[in-house]
Structure 1
């Protein structure tokens, strides 16, 4: 340039640089002596300088916003909140329509859209990108930014139908993705997308990449802190579990010590429930097999099959008490201040095993005691005086004083229930055993009626079926025990014929029947046969109607009408049957003396017939 430019013109040109594209360098140079070509060159350089200045100014603003966002993100510790704020800041920096972050799963190699901003389709959040598919996988595999100005025609990465459908539903056209890298680990991909075709400038790619680098560091730090917190929480939880386990083991040791002492000191099965409840700080109940019903029964059955403690309902457990395949009962536990864990449940199971052992021991002792009582009772009721020579001494060894026994009660108990009835009655004291198919109990009760009532009630609670019990008084000497048992047994045999099925009586109340059906039973049979034998023989060969008709006739004061009403027969039918009786017994059978003997014989025949 040969011409010179005045200083004022140069100053004006320099002032035009920051003025922007609105400034006109030609107007400033109009009064100068420059050629058009030189003026054009100066104008071009001024505009280029202005563009460069604007680019650096914008770059400075972006970097300022970038560092400001990084500082803000660095203050966050919650990962979910951090991801949301990260996408929000990227959205503000880029000014795109949609911004979202896909998290990378190292295990499955999938990407899942974790956080979005600007989306409208609900299906986009949570979208999964299979390995090797789409623009996101290209970013992960290459660990560098990838972009497309028009997604539908993109050929650099394979398409997936699910991803394409989600992109189409959201209306996205141009996408830019940059990796979130922590050292060499890919944490995810940050996307900026538009709903119009757009060619991403290098400055945009550089800006989003720089932001992603800062964000990755912050995200990795937040994750490490979260893991550290989780590890601390896990360590604290493990410590608490260890402390609880140690405490549970101490309780189990306490139960083991208590149960061992119970076994050595001869404790019972109920003592086990007490010791278990004290150690586990809970309520424990020992249930009999008969008490296992409803939900408790179902749980006990499951425990019986598995051998384990089973939950009945919330905070209630049951464990079966087993001896082989036999169910002896169950322990029912209600949780108290101690929450049941594996150690507590195993402790309950071991307690159930100890309970079974103690019950078997008690049963064995009861069986042995029952055999001893049975032998004493057999010797007491034997014909041979030799078997009773040292009976009093042997009974005293079992804490039984024969000279204090004042009553005997004979009870008719079904065979399958006899064992439990004997065990229950033995707790009442005295001498109890089995004789001639009945349960016999000698007691110190002076009143046979009171003794019969008490023994009947005790046996009934165990048997839970109707029972007959007959009591008899013993003299001061025990020598008449055999006779009194025989008399009570005879009375017991007569009671069902009198319509009794569940009662407690004494031999004195039914003395006429016991006298007749005692030792002189053969003479009674001969008497009945001699008086009404022909009627009995007729009934045996025919329908068996004469004896019931004759008994009803005598009970109704010899009234045919009342007899017919009781038997639900026509009067003529009753008269025909009475005519048959007259043929068999003779016309004088209704005379005073004959009628008395017939009445007694009919009553005895009815009593002696099985029902």
Structure 2
């Protein structure tokens, strides 16, 4: 016991026991062994605590893994230690300590291969006294080749667990056959437990730092976006149009920027690359939100589903530029929509003022000047008024090369055109359209313009009634049908109709027999009975009966060639007047 109290080693106590056998010497040896075990355990626990503290201070995942395998090799007194992580269905060896070659690092194993398969799938420690000859698991060529290069024999592996998940495995290896005691398994498992927590913490911290970095970037982007939005909003609120917004884009991106409405309006500064610009515009018009070329980026500008054009930034594409363009596009679309709405409102107002001038001319000189001014006209200028209908479109009339001071307006389905001119023929030569257009004679002053407007309306009505669609004509071009435009002439037409055809019309109304139609058709067919009967869809005898009735009612003088011609013209004019509602 005195030797034990003097802290003699186990070897000294064993030598004393052999020299002096007895119960006391045997008890002293056993007690020494227990004390040594506890001391070793205390040392290991102290080492584990020190390792745990160090692991909590490591923030680099690679350094952390290396620290773990170095400590495992030291604590267990083995030749080689290595560790790997689980990625999906694979285990990848990442770090080693004491390796003879670099072949181990990077080896990938399926979770049903090698000793690692038993450890990862079973989530429990496993060992073999001789790895290279162990039949309990499936060997693979790559892993066995690396094992042979390291002369791996005795091998112990423990899982790295976080909760119910196995995130990796830690291995301790001897280059000779060896069994592993439970205490060694427990020690390596304890180290693996500390390592798993530390690794998970580092990964969580890395993920958190990544998220924080990303959040900072997003916050900075958001702040920049908000500032950019405020700038653009301020431009719009201050009445700045598309040009002002494009200037802001150019200033913010520090590169040239342009708005291109269509391929026909490429800015002069981009003419050197017009083909590229046209291709970008076409791609955006086809539906692409962004079209990128090596030298420029184009963003589509739309409002209410309508393509308005593209915003182009000259220079290489990058995220910052795209962000600014993305924010600028809605502001430009809004500005364009406002400009178009304002233009449409002004256009409608001017249309209303022009129609008011043509329909309700004022008698006061001051009011007349105001009416002319609001309609976009000048009181002391002579104008011709044109009215188009049918295929008439405002855009088509606005595309005509008209003299300065001309005004185009809409009235329902008709297009009105007021042109400074001293003769209607000059206006007729200007208008090349598919529409039917009536042109007035020159007029000056409010009352005269109102009369000219009625004349143009009546002219286009006559053209339409006569089936002369697509024709452009003044009243003079109507020939004999010009009579329909005169009030006095229409009264005379009524008198002639009553004088020449009155009895015929009365009999027709009374009996319901189309006598005027029969007479008109008969004369139109050159007095051929069979052709007339066929055209009317009646028997020849019926035609003869009707002609006899006509002779009886208006006399036979209508059969005279001159009288027949007069009747033909009279009936054609009368029919046109009826169609016009005159």
**TM-score bracket for this pair, using the shorter chain length:** 0.5 to 0.7
The equivalent residue for 1:180 is 160
**SS of residue paired to 1:609:** helix
Aligned equivalents of 2:189, 2:209: Cα separation in 1: 29
The equivalent residue for 1:92 is none
Query: Residue 510 of structure 1: CA displacement?
Result: 0.7
Matched-pair contact (CA < 8 Å) for 1:406–1:446 = yes
Describe how 1:548-563 pairs up with structure 2 within 5 A.
Answer: 548-563=517-532
Tell me which of 468, 485, 498 is aligned to 2:466: 498
Describe how 1:153-192 pairs up with structure 2 within 5 A.
Answer: 180=160
The equivalent residue for 1:303 is none
Tell me which of 408, 418, 427 is aligned to 1:442: 418
Aligned equivalents of 1:446, 1:499: Cα separation in 2: 29
Aligned equivalents of 1:64, 1:431: Cα separation in 2: 99
Q: 1:485 to 1:372 in 2, by over 3 A?
A: closer
Q: Cα deviations across residues 217-272 of structure 1 (Å, max 9, x unaligned)?
A: 66556555555554555455445445544554454344334323435xxx5xx658
Aligned equivalents of 2:372, 2:115: Cα separation in 1: 99
Question: Is 2:581 the counterpart of 1:573?
Answer: no
Aligned equivalents of 2:545, 2:532: Cα separation in 1: 14
Matched-pair contact (CA < 8 Å) for 1:379–1:388 = no
Question: Is 2:437 the counterpart of 1:469?
Answer: yes
The equivalent residue for 1:509 is 477
Tell me which of 105, 112, 115 is aligned to 2:111: 115
Q: Cα deviations across residues 109-158 of structure 1 (Å, max 9, x unaligned)?
A: xxxx99342499xxx9999x9xxxxx85xx7xxxxx799xxxxxxxxxxx
Matched-pair contact (CA < 8 Å) for 2:394–2:410 = no
Aligned equivalents of 2:569, 2:524: Cα separation in 1: 12
Aligned equivalents of 1:262, 1:599: Cα separation in 2: 67
Q: Cα deviations across residues 543-579 of structure 1 (Å, max 9, x unaligned)?
A: 77554454343333333455467x3x66x63663354
Q: Cα deviations across residues 15-71 of structure 1 (Å, max 9, x unaligned)?
A: xxxxxxxxxxxxxxxxxxxxxxxxxxxxxxxxxxxxxxxxxxxxxxx989974442x
**SS of residue paired to 1:410:** strand
Tell me which of 387, 393, 403 is aligned to 2:364: 387
Which moves more between the two structures, 596-605 or 527-536? 527-536
Aligned equivalents of 1:402, 1:387: Cα separation in 2: 12
User: Normalising to structure 1: TM-score of the pair?
Assistant: 0.52
Which moves more between the two structures, 418-427 or 545-554? 418-427
The equivalent residue for 1:529 is 498
Aligned equivalents of 1:410, 1:221: Cα separation in 2: 88
Matched-pair contact (CA < 8 Å) for 1:470–1:507 = yes
Q: 1:69 to 1:190 in 2, by over 3 A?
A: same
Matched-pair contact (CA < 8 Å) for 2:533–2:543 = no
Q: Cα deviations across residues 151-186 of structure 1 (Å, max 9, x unaligned)?
A: xxxxxxxxxxxxxxxx9xxxxxxxx9956369x998
Matched-pair contact (CA < 8 Å) for 2:389–2:414 = yes
Aligned equivalents of 1:436, 1:320: Cα separation in 2: 26
Query: Residue 524 of structure 1: CA displacement?
Result: 0.6
Count of matched residue pairs: 435
The equivalent residue for 2:550 is 584
The equivalent residue for 2:578 is 609
Q: 1:217 to 1:335 in 2, by over 3 A?
A: farther
Query: Residue 588 of structure 1: CA displacement?
Result: 3.6
Q: 1:588 to 1:83 in 2, by over 3 A?
A: same
Aligned equivalents of 1:550, 1:125: Cα separation in 2: 115
CA RMSD, aligned part only? 6.0
Q: 1:579 to 1:490 in 2, by over 3 A?
A: farther
Question: Is 2:386 the counterpart of 1:409?
Answer: yes
Q: 1:395 to 1:606 in 2, by over 3 A?
A: closer
Query: Residue 513 of structure 1: CA displacement?
Result: 1.4
User: Normalising to structure 2: TM-score of the pair?
Assistant: 0.54
Aligned equivalents of 1:77, 1:217: Cα separation in 2: 15
Query: Residue 356 of structure 1: CA displacement?
Result: 4.5
**SS of residue paired to 1:530:** helix
Q: 1:347 to 1:413 in 2, by over 3 A?
A: same
Tell me which of 255, 262, 279 is aligned to 2:232: 255
Aligned equivalents of 2:119, 2:462: Cα separation in 1: 90
Q: Cα deviations across residues 419-449 of structure 1 (Å, max 9, x unaligned)?
A: 9999999997446678999765431134524
Q: Which ranges in structure 1 are unaligned for 5 or more consecutive residues?
A: 1-61, 90-100, 102-112, 130-134, 140-144, 148-166, 168-175, 193-200, 288-294, 300-309, 322-326, 458-465
Q: Which ranges in structure 2 are unaligned for 5 or more consecutive residues?
A: 1-72, 98-107, 128-136, 138-155, 172-177, 263-282, 293-297
Aligned equivalents of 2:411, 2:443: Cα separation in 1: 20
Q: 1:69 to 1:524 in 2, by over 3 A?
A: farther
Q: 1:273 to 1:428 in 2, by over 3 A?
A: farther
Q: Cα deviations across residues 255-292 of structure 1 (Å, max 9, x unaligned)?
A: 334323435xxx5xx658866876788876779xxxxx
